């Protein structure tokens, strides 16, 4: 994370509100989704919230490893593919869910598997944003989002601490 200048910590409450806001947007696009394909691990939590809000019971995972450490993104590795039945019709009627699109590499890989699916993320960065159909909040490329499942309760230094004064 050495090249990251900004941090954006997200609480459980905020994430839940943002995921529900995403569900509201998605509900207006289609009466019913055939299935949700969530990108693990980050997509699991928003997919659970969205599936509840939209009444979608079929949830599938696609497991891709990209961050081999928390500060560097490595080569993409598909650990578990999508069920063949959901790949029919190139994903038409399928909702892909993830917590964040960062560089767009993971999004591009999953979109290539389901080119007609609707791709939704809670957060988006500029490099990944063109690959996503619906999102809630855009953050700058140099911002690191700290998700609630990655955090413990610790002291946070004031933003101004790093500013000479």
Residue 61 pairs in a beta bridge with 38
Considering only the C-alpha atoms of the chain, give the largest distance between any 2 of them, rounded to a whole number of Å.
60
Beta carbons of 132 and 109 less than 8 angstroms apart: no
Q: Give the position of tokens 């869910």.
A: 97
Annotated active-site residue 102? The verdict is yes
- Cβ partners under 8 Å of residue 6, min gap 6: 140, 142, 143, 144
Q: Which of 102, 133, 142, 150 is catalytic?
A: 102
CA atoms of 149 and 42, how far apart (whole Å): 9
Q: Is 98 one of the annotated active-site residues of the chain?
A: yes
Among the options 13, 18, 89, 98, which is catalytic? 98
Pairing state between β 59-69 and 72-80: antiparallel
Rounded Cα distance, 156 and 165, in Å: 19
Given 13, 18, 92, 99, the catalytic residue: 99
Provide the annotated active-site residues: 98-99, 102
């Amino acid at each position: 994370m050495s090249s990251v200048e900004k941090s954006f910590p997200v609480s459980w409450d905020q994430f839940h509100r943002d995921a529900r806001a995403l569900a509201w947007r998605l509900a207006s696009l289609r009466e019913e989704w055939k299935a949700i394909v969530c990108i693990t691990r980050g997509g699991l939590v928003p997919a659970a919230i969205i599936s509840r809000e939209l009444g979608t019971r079929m949830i599938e995972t696609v497991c891709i490893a990209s961050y081999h450490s928390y500060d560097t993104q490595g080569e993409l590795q598909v650990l578990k593919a999508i069920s063949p039945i959901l790949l029919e019709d190139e994903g038409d009627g399928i909702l892909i869910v993830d917590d964040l699109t960062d560089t767009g590499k993971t999004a591009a890989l999953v979109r290539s598997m389901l080119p007609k699916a609707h791709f939704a993320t809670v957060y988006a960065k500029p490099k990944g944003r063109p690959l996503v159909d619906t999102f809630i909040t855009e953050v700058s490329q140099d911002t690191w989002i700290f998700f609630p499942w990655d955090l413990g309760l610790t002291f946070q230094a004031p933003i101004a601490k790093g500013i000479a004064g």
